[in-house]
Amino acid sequence: MDELDRLTISTIRGLSMDAPHAARSGHQGTAMSLAPVAHVLFGRIMNFDAANPQWFDRDRFILSPGHASILQYSLLHLYGFGLTLDDLRDFRQWGSATPGHPEVGHTAGVEVTTGPLGQGFANATGMAIAEAHIRARLGSEICDHYIFGLCSDGDLQEGVSHEAASLAGHLRLGKIVFVYDDNKISIDGSTDLSFSDDSAARFRSYGWHVVEAGDVGEDLDALEAAIREGMAETERPSLIVLNTTIGVPATEHAGTHHAHGYAIKDDEIAATKTAMGLPADETFHVPDDVFAYCRDLGARGSDAASAWSDRVESFSGDRTALDALVHGVLPDGYKDAIPTWERGESVATRKASGAVLQALVDVHPGIVGGGADLTGNTGTVISGHGVFGDDRSGRQIYFGIREHGMGSAMVGMAAHGHLLPVGGTFLVFSDYMRGAVRLAALGHHKMIFSWTHDSIGVGEDGPTHQPVEHVASLRAMPGLDVWRPGDANETAAAWAAALERPHPTAMICSRQNLPVLSGTSPAGVARGGYVLRESTDAVATVVATGSELQHAVEAADLLAEQGVLVRVVSLPCWEVFVEQDLDYRAAVLPRTHPTVSIEAGSTHGWHRWADTCLGIDRFGASAPGGEIMEHLGMTSTAVVDAIRAAID
């Protein structure tokens, strides 16, 4: 090993001990043992420009075991991404650029938010789908790069990694190259306690190219050769199996489960630094020649980035597609393509959502998507634009029965930029996706989850398939826009609003047909809530979402016949409504008279908006949907009774 490379790796290891020790928190051992392979990736293989970390055609790097974040932060400092030594000193502190786990959008050079194990690995599948798709659409002169990553035993034990690996192998995503750190250590102890998989055989069965590199963790040339072998395999994703010793070269804790966390402290840090040729009494030490060496390596992609910009400038193909796929620009006039429905029609909002999706795909080059084996059921059919597979330009993706893998792949597609992924399944199965959805919200990734069959209206399938608590639990998640439109036209307006919002979207739609109502307002929907029916002499307000909006309107009609006037409010998206100014919110939901809400789900959270809350705070039942609605009080009659009780 070249002396400067050796010193660089020692410097990374020194920083990987010092920062957690300063924070009295963190994970040292994995960062130390992976320092050589990380240096090979950043210094010899990856194509990037540290001064331009958002250059579109850069290679992507994913640290799936995000607990080893100090490894990535050390690299980002040394290679010139903007992190300073003071940032490393502030590791895991309030407001720092170096949080406990890498967060996209928070630290330059971090591609996805990782930490929950398996997620980063699964994001790579989506990133590789995006890379292959955009390359097929725009050509290799615009898009041609790799998705590199490091993963751990923990990543490969989590179920989401199995789903993603299976999908990636099936789709033959050859631009994925992951190094699997098979160090056989977990927090509890040796992985022998709970894990005896033959991971290499498992990945071969998924259709991956597997390189069993063995115990070459300190041999830079061997590491480079193994990774380049993976890169040369263009028809299959590649897994490089690497056997390392966690915490090496720590003098006491190397190879033990203690090194997984924060165990290497004062005397051992000093002894380890001495063994590596670093000053034992100096923290956060970066030799000048290491700093200059790494900064030069970090700038080596600047010419390639500049040449790429020239190619984009002279691109003679479809500029609308280029702007959408590379720059994330919404095409002009896309709202004109969105369909509308006539009053009196009867349309399930899942069907309306599917019609809107198809209309938008025809004019918006960035939309891709599909369902988790429920493509037709969830309105995520994309006709006339091919199927992603052998046709890399195809925009219909069949994710298979892999809800969690689908969600994580969608995060990867959105994080890669600039596809707008759409993924569908039944709302009740959003539980299987929750880890991915949470990271989509945390990372502010723009995507649309099409969750249908949204209530006890599912009917005969029974309580296992009838979501009750799901909408409330999704509304509790920061950064996720939850839309539950009340008819087909509200669905169209919700889609239009979602395309302009910077957040992930949950589009919650009905299985059953709903009447197209009079008076729905696209402008009102865009504000999250609005007055569907006003009355200056109203004695009460009824507020509803989704399939229950019809019952609110019917109840208002019944009461009007009895001389009782009530207002009707549609509240399809709480998150957007909360962003409106106080005067608007007070005008929509005044506190001058009683308010009754109705929604076929948990009443949790509804007391923020209503005095009396009609909902379902129990599991459903197996029967026709209309009967269940009747038995559990999701009717206009129940609304009438509640309003009369409220005003009395």
Closest by CA position to 131, among listed 147, 120, 109, 150: 147
314 lies in some domain: no
Chain center to CA of 356: 23
Provide the CATH number for the domain around residue 642: 3.40.50.920
In terms of C-beta density within 10 A (0-12 exposed, 13-18 middle, 19 or more buried), how is residue 95 classed? Answer: exposed
- Pairing of β 530-533 and β 60-63: unpaired
Predicted confidence at residue 332, as pLDDT, reads 94
Residue 327 covered by a domain: no
Please give the Cα distance from 39 to 179 (Å, whole number). 13
630 φ, ψ to 5°?
-65, -45
Are 49 and 181 within one domain?
yes
DSSP string over 142-185:
T----EEEEEEHHHHHSHHHHHHHHHHHHHT-TTEEEEEE---B
Residue 85 domain flag: yes
**Judgement on whether residues 552 and 604 belong to the same structural domain of the protein:** yes
Q: How far apart are CA 192 and CA 196, in angstroms?
A: 6
What pLDDT score was predicted for residue 648?
Answer: 87
Instruction: Please state the φ and ψ torsions of residue 285, each to the nearest 5 degrees.
Output: -85, 125
> How far, in Å, CA of 298 to CA of 295, rounded?
5
Residues 399 and 297 in one domain: no
Do 540 and 511 sit in the same domain of this protein? no
Catalytic residue among 218, 233, 403, 575: 403
Q: How many domains, the chain?
A: 3
Tally the C-alpha atoms within 13 A of residue 429's C-alpha that lie toward its C-beta.
Answer: 21
User: Are 482 and 531 contained in the same domain?
Assistant: no
Between helices 549-561 and 636-647, what is the axis angle to 10°? Answer: 60
Distance from C-alpha of 143 to C-alpha of 417, rounded to nearest angstrom? 11
- Residue numbers of the domain that contains 488: 334-515
Q: 490 and 530 share a domain?
A: no
Beta bridge partners of 422: 369, 448
115 and 135 housed in the same domain: yes
Final residue of a structural domain among 286, 303, 320: 303
Give the pLDDT of residue 356.
98
620 and 543 in a common domain = yes
The residue out of 280, 303, 326 marking a domain boundary is: 303
In order along the chain (648 residues), what is the average pLDDT of each group of 10 residues?
A: 95 98 98 98 98 98 98 98 98 98 98 98 98 98 98 98 98 98 94 96 98 98 98 98 97 96 97 98 98 98 98 97 97 96 97 98 98 97 98 98 98 97 98 98 98 96 98 98 98 98 97 97 98 96 98 98 98 98 98 97 98 98 97 98 96
CATH of the domain at 130: 3.40.50.970
**Domain C-terminal end among 303, 322, 343:** 303
- Residue 315 is assigned to a structural domain of this protein: no
Beta-bridge partners for 242: 181, 214
Residue 400 lies in a domain: yes
Torsion (CA) 521, 525, 529, 530 in degrees, nearest 10: -10
In a domain, 312, yes or no: no
The answer to whether residue 322 sits within a structural domain is: no
546, 619: one domain: yes
239 in Cβ contact with 178 (< 8 Å):
yes
Query: Cis ω on the peptide bond leading into residue 418 (within 30° of 0)?
Result: yes
Q: Do residues 249 and 365 share a domain?
A: no
Residue 403 is among the residues annotated as catalytic for this protein: yes
How far apart, in Å, are the Cα atoms of 40 and each of 35, 94, 221, 224, 584? 9, 32, 9, 6, 57
d(CA 488, CA 491): 5
Q: In terms of domains, do 346 and 247 share one?
A: no
Same domain, 576 and 600: yes
Contact assessment for residue 256 and residue 267, using Cβ atoms and an 8 Å cutoff: no
Burial class (CB in 10 A: 0-12, 13-18, 19+), 287: middle
In a domain, 317, yes or no: no
